[in-house]
Structure 1
Amino acid sequence: MPVNIHDHPPDLPATASASFEGVVLPHLDAAYNLARWLARDDADAQDVVQEALLRAFRYYASFHGSDARTWLLAIVRNTFYSLRMKTLPDSAREAFDDDVHVPADDQPTPEARALLALDVDSLQRALEKLPHALRETIVLRELQECSYKEIASITGQKIGTVMSRLARARERLRLELTSHSTEARRHDVP
């Protein structure tokens, strides 16, 4: 069912609805982009964004004008995970332990920059293979251009955890893209 924000709840004045449109809706593309990368499916992403917008609209009165984009992306992320936890069996949930992994240097190497210049399809396939925790972090940083502080706020993680996840995500992307590139070269005709 489509969301019509003009049908505001009785306890929310029409001016709040107009304010919501002006403050939150400009970030709708960013919300969908994050939801699409998390859900890996257009229809599921649309469902996540729709539910997130309903939640954002419902709690808009508690928004105090800081950063609407970060606020909305946090709601999208939380909505995705809450919907996901309702539908996944316990055996399908990912376990992730930040203490096991050692953070690497955060600066991309020239090799990593060259690998990121590969075609978009290879990069998308590599991103799809990342665990949710790593994929959401790299999508927020590289595609949504969020700062470490914004990512920490959106995900509810410490900045050190964000940096660690980014380093691991970049390393896994590098490995995936270099193995894909090596495999492609093996099949080239001399």
Structure 2
Amino acid sequence: MSDSIKKKRFQTVVLPHLNSAFNLACWLTRNRQDAEDVVQEAYLRAFRFFDGFHGEDGRAWLLTIVRNTFYNWYQGSQKQRQETSFDEELHQAAPGDVIGQMAADNDPEALLMRKDSELQLQQALQALPLEFREVMVMRELEELSYKQIAAIVGIPIGTVMSRLGRGRKLLATILAPTSAAPVAPSRQER
């Protein structure tokens, strides 16, 4: 395939799914900058191996590459983290920095209009273990079919369904209201 035909076909089949790729990468990496790096690497890989793509579902194919790129990046960063000494001041982060960073990039007026429940849901999704979070994001946010998710993750459809079920239960547990704090006795009860 000539380079110009390859570029045009790539732009038609793969490029429109950039938002989905970035969304998945954000949820997997929990960091906007790392997600950008993962997506950039994934698109380079997708273009490099585009001649081997003969399917019709460019979105599922691309998200598979994003997921695999993330896991390669994650293993590399884990290995580097083990080899690097920990500097408390350099690595100190406040809880919710990822969500705060993502929110800071949006329009302030839109931020004011967002519901508290959205923030709670995002935080709950972030708290899920990776194996549940990735299938939840693909199904609930990216609206992929069980079959597509199974192909992307490389697991049977039944396992996808199981992870979704368990992920939803964990999410419900995380979002469940905590038991009310004990009320201090009134003056009359003392």
User: Is residue 31 from structure 1 mapped to residue 21 from structure 2 by the alignment?
Assistant: yes
The TM-score with structure 2 as length reference comes to 0.74
Radius of gyration: which is bigger? 2
SS at match of 2:178: helix
Which amino acid letter does the alignment assign opposite residue 87 of structure 1?
S
Give me the whole-angstrom Cα distance separating, in 1, the residues matched to 2:40 and 2:32.
Answer: 12
Q: Residue 124 of structure 2 is aligned with which of 119, 126, 129? A: 126
1:38 to partner: Cα distance: 0.3
Distance 1:175 1:18, change over 3 A: same
Q: Equivalent residues in 2 for 1:8-157 (5 A)?
A: 13-89=3-79, 119-157=117-155
Give me the whole-angstrom Cα distance separating, in 1, the residues matched to 2:43 and 2:181.
Answer: 47
Give me the whole-angstrom Cα distance separating, in 1, the residues matched to 2:148 and 2:116.
Answer: 28
Which amino acid letter does the alignment assign opposite residue 168 of structure 2?
R
Give me the whole-angstrom Cα distance separating, in 1, the residues matched to 2:160 and 2:49.
Answer: 27
| Dislocated runs of 4+, deviation >6 Å | none
Unaligned ranges ≥5, structure 2: 83-114, 184-190
Unaligned ranges ≥5, structure 1: 1-10, 93-116
Give me the whole-angstrom Cα distance separating, in 1, the residues matched to 2:32 and 2:81.
Answer: 24
Distance 1:171 1:91, change over 3 A: farther
Deviations 1:10-63 (A, max 9, x none): x85112111101110101000000000000000000000000000000000011
CA RMSD across the alignment:
2.4
Percent identity (aligned):
50
Distance 1:167 1:38, change over 3 A: same
Structure richer in helix, relative to its length: 2
The number of equivalent residue pairs is 151
1:187 to partner: Cα distance: 9.4
Deviations 1:116-143 (A, max 9, x none): x971100011111111111001000000
Give me the whole-angstrom Cα distance separating, in 2, the residues matched to 1:187 and 1:16.
Answer: 66
SS at match of 1:88: helix
The TM-score with structure 1 as length reference comes to 0.74
Which amino acid letter does the alignment assign opposite residue 75 of structure 1?
I
Give me the whole-angstrom Cα distance separating, in 1, the residues matched to 2:171 and 2:164.
Answer: 10
